[in-house]
Structure 1
Amino acid sequence: MRTTKLAIVVSHPIPYYTPVLRELAKSIRLKVFYTAGDEQFYDHGFQKNIQWDTDLLQGYDHQFLTNTGRQNPYLHFFRIKNPDAIKAITLFNPQHLLIYGWAYYSHLSIIRHFKNKVKISFRGDSNLLNNSSGIKNLFKRIVLRWVYKHIDQAFFTGTHSKTYFKEYGLKEPQLFFAPHAIDNHKFAAISASSEKQTLRDKLGLKDDHILILFTGKFNPNKNPQLLLNAFLRIKSANLTLLFVGGGIQEHQLKETVREHQNSKIHFLPFQNQDSMPGIYQACDLFCMPSNHESWGLAINEAMAAGKAILASDHIGCAIDLIRESNGKTFKRGDINDLQKKLALLTTSKSDLIKRGLASKALIAKWDFSTQIKNILYAFK
């Protein structure tokens, strides 16, 4: 197994990928090629440069490729162009090539160049939940079937992801399960309990008080405004809402709170990974009201922290991770349904605790070890 050489192509260092890369490097010879360049990563959703608080590069071989596409920051496909990519990967001389995402000029060029030269694998978490009918969807179908004809196998992240790959031409023997996962132990750590209590004290919450949490980008797709509006409809002195993150709707959200003079709604700026376990543990219910998510890894994190979940039915992980035992889903964009489910879930703190325990049990099966084992199996 150690003689196997695997080249991995991904845009930039990502906390959810690093543990997998480190473990894979113990079993096979791999090199990761980062295509977005080695400059500080700017997240357009959070509208800020992201500097992670953990070392994402230690424990595996990697190379930052030259990216000449930065002059096209708003043209997604052309945002990544690497004139040195083909040469660098060829020099490494891999037997297998794993691509994370195809929708960049450079990534698609790499796939096309190495077709029939090495075994090409693809990992993605797209789904069909946001598909529309008509000419646009027909064109999309033609393009995606053409793209996926260039790969030999794909790693799907969950039920909707597998359906997506089959829709665009891949067959069962080409598909391998590589579940979206996070460090479950980190988010369940008892050591985060002090941060949990510090935050609840800061917000003035008593033990029986229920805290609803939203984390992520403040933008129309994530739809924090819908959650805010639904919360404002519920008249309960026992409920508090906390928004953690940032983005283009931040001013609008805060203005709405000021207009209603509601002291039960709070904001925290973007928090790095080491701060998040305590924040999740401080809440009683985690809500993701997005119009669409390919997966929704924050739900993994909240479940690992032992929290009940309320999410839109257009979130990729909902079909796999949300059961009656640990939470509920609501109809996308439907404020009445969201308000109803929000009120129902927050009637009992003890019920939320039971649902949180169910979340922790469910998410235990969605871990890095399953992903690593199946990736290694596919490269035999």
Structure 2
Amino acid sequence: MRVLIVHNQLWAHYKSKLFSEIDRAMKQADPLDELLVAQIALYEASRKVMQNDNTVIYDYPYKVLFERALDQVTLAERRTALFRIFNEYRPDVLNITGYFDWAQVLLMFYARWKGVKVVISSESSSADHNRSAWKEWVKKVIVKRAHAFFCFGKTSAEYLESLGVKRDAIKVRNAAVIDEQLIRQRYDEAKASQGGVATGNAAPKKFVYVGRLAPEKNLQTLIRAFTRAVDHTGAHWQLLFVGDGPDRAELQKLVEESGVAGKVVFAGGFPWYQVPGWLAQSDVLVLPSQSEPWGLVVNEAMVCGMPVIVSETCGCAGDLVRNGVNGFTFNHSQQQELEKHLVYFIQNPGRIGEMGRESLKLVAPFASGPVAGQMARTYRELAGGHRRV
């Protein structure tokens, strides 16, 4: 059996972890099975900094079609290169990563004509973007040509079902994976290094936000809610921002005007593998975004055993957050809801450890190894155990 996965960019650390696990699972089932990941380009413009990331191990068979930015590769170039590698490799199963790239969509139709089974990996949900009737109709036509689907989580699966995909065709509903072993290792190491640092009442507890400082992240609402929460309770909690972006100066100004400058810390931006060190200094993760296809930082916090507060418009909320169990969800436009949840943790610090342990249970189904195993089994089922000679 030969499987060809088409992916946008090589420099995507969690995808590399997933592809490595898929390759391992396939080889364990049958050493003669083959995987090839066709990476269209090296990076997207927003991920160019990953060229200096030495922590990512590309431990799977891949080929980079264009050694430049994805943004610089034209549709015609993508189409020609993808058709070429498809015909050279002659896969039994083709896995495209979305229906947003017409080069991949055309390849999918060609694969169907050639009798090759097709899988679509989808991260989209109904809340991602404004939808139009004609675009939804086009998507319905596209998804009808696939044999199986891999989804990030509940919201992306429900969106596919709204497009007419049969429930049993969605073979994986928990594909939002991270490198949970590395994240937890780095977190534990950071915690251990804090052994000599004062703890308990001497160290203020922290809410933490990790991500871009941008308008869609709804961070002004977070600052206002935090200000009211600490004013109401007189608490010595802090709010930590890990990340950078265009709204930083405006957010810092709001902090000053709100009178909480001594309680809010802007740490700046850091590469993904340093984030666990900041989580280790924190107690509760908050993701207040207006729109978020998923929110992998929630996975990261949860594998570190942290409670989370997540807006309902984040794709991960339906899968990973249970109100009152491991955290809370809230309407991103309702500041008072967020304030209430912040106050809850301030007034009930004894529940942080208990709720963090529940986070570990809830995120367990999203472990990269088992998810990759589900994907490998799907490929074999579609290929009918076909073996080339």
The two structures share one fold, judged by TM-score above 0.5: yes
Pair 257,79 (structure 1): closer, same or farther in 2 beyond 3 Å: farther
Could you tell me whether the CA contact under 8 Å between 2:5 and 2:96 is conserved in 1? yes
Deviates more, 1:83-92 or 1:257-266: 257-266
Q: Are 2:35 and 1:34 equivalent residues in the alignment? A: no
SS of the aligned residue for 1:301 comes to: helix
Alpha-carbon distance between aligned partners in 2 of 1:140 and 1:151, rounded to the nearest angstrom: 18
| Residue 140 of structure 2: aligned partner | 145
| Residue 337 of structure 2: aligned partner | 337
| Residue 43 of structure 1: aligned partner | 46
Q: Which amino acid aligns with 1:70?
A: D
What aligned pairs does 1:134-173 form with structure 2 within 5 A after superposition?
Answer: 136-173=131-168
| Residue 188 of structure 1: aligned partner | 184
How far residue 373 of structure 1 moved from its aligned partner, in angstroms, is 1.6
Q: Which has the higher helix share?
A: 2
SS of the aligned residue for 2:9 comes to: coil
Q: Which amino acid aligns with 2:87?
A: T
Could you tell me whether the CA contact under 8 Å between 1:178 and 1:375 is conserved in 2? no
Q: Are 2:314 and 1:309 equivalent residues in the alignment? A: no
- Which segments of 5 or more consecutive residues in structure 2 lack a partner in the other structure? 28-32, 381-389
Alpha-carbon distance between aligned partners in 2 of 1:342 and 1:197, rounded to the nearest angstrom: 27
| Residue 328 of structure 1: aligned partner | 328
Q: Which amino acid aligns with 2:59?
A: G
| Residue 263 of structure 2: aligned partner | 264
Alpha-carbon distance between aligned partners in 1 of 2:69 and 2:172, rounded to the nearest angstrom: 34
| Residue 384 of structure 2: aligned partner | none
Q: Which amino acid aligns with 1:5?
A: R
How far residue 306 of structure 1 moved from its aligned partner, in angstroms, is 0.9
TM-score, normalised by the number of residues in structure 2: 0.84
Could you tell me whether the CA contact under 8 Å between 1:10 and 1:99 is conserved in 2? yes
RMSD of equivalent CA atoms:
2.7
| Residue 240 of structure 1: aligned partner | 238
Q: Are 2:172 and 1:174 equivalent residues in the alignment? A: no
SS of the aligned residue for 2:13 comes to: coil
Alpha-carbon distance between aligned partners in 1 of 2:346 and 2:338, rounded to the nearest angstrom: 12
Q: Which amino acid aligns with 2:184?
A: A
Pair 80,174 (structure 1): closer, same or farther in 2 beyond 3 Å: farther
How far residue 197 of structure 1 moved from its aligned partner, in angstroms, is 6.4
| Residue 90 of structure 2: aligned partner | 93
Deviations 1:24-75 (A, max 9, x none): 223231111111x23x54218xxx7344534545321111113797359xxx
SS of the aligned residue for 2:177 comes to: coil
How far residue 321 of structure 1 moved from its aligned partner, in angstroms, is 1.2
Q: Percent identity?
A: 23
Deviates more, 1:167-176 or 1:106-115: 106-115
| Residue 296 of structure 2: aligned partner | 297
| Residue 370 of structure 1: aligned partner | 370
Deviates more, 1:216-225 or 1:177-186: 177-186
- Which segments of 5 or more consecutive residues in structure 1 lack a partner in the other structure? none
Q: Which of 223, 233, 250 is matched with 1:228 structurally?
A: 223
Alpha-carbon distance between aligned partners in 1 of 2:316 and 2:204, rounded to the nearest angstrom: 28
Could you tell me whether the CA contact under 8 Å between 1:196 and 1:278 is conserved in 2? no
How far residue 305 of structure 1 moved from its aligned partner, in angstroms, is 0.7
Alpha-carbon distance between aligned partners in 1 of 2:51 and 2:193, rounded to the nearest angstrom: 21
TM-score, normalised by the number of residues in structure 1: 0.86
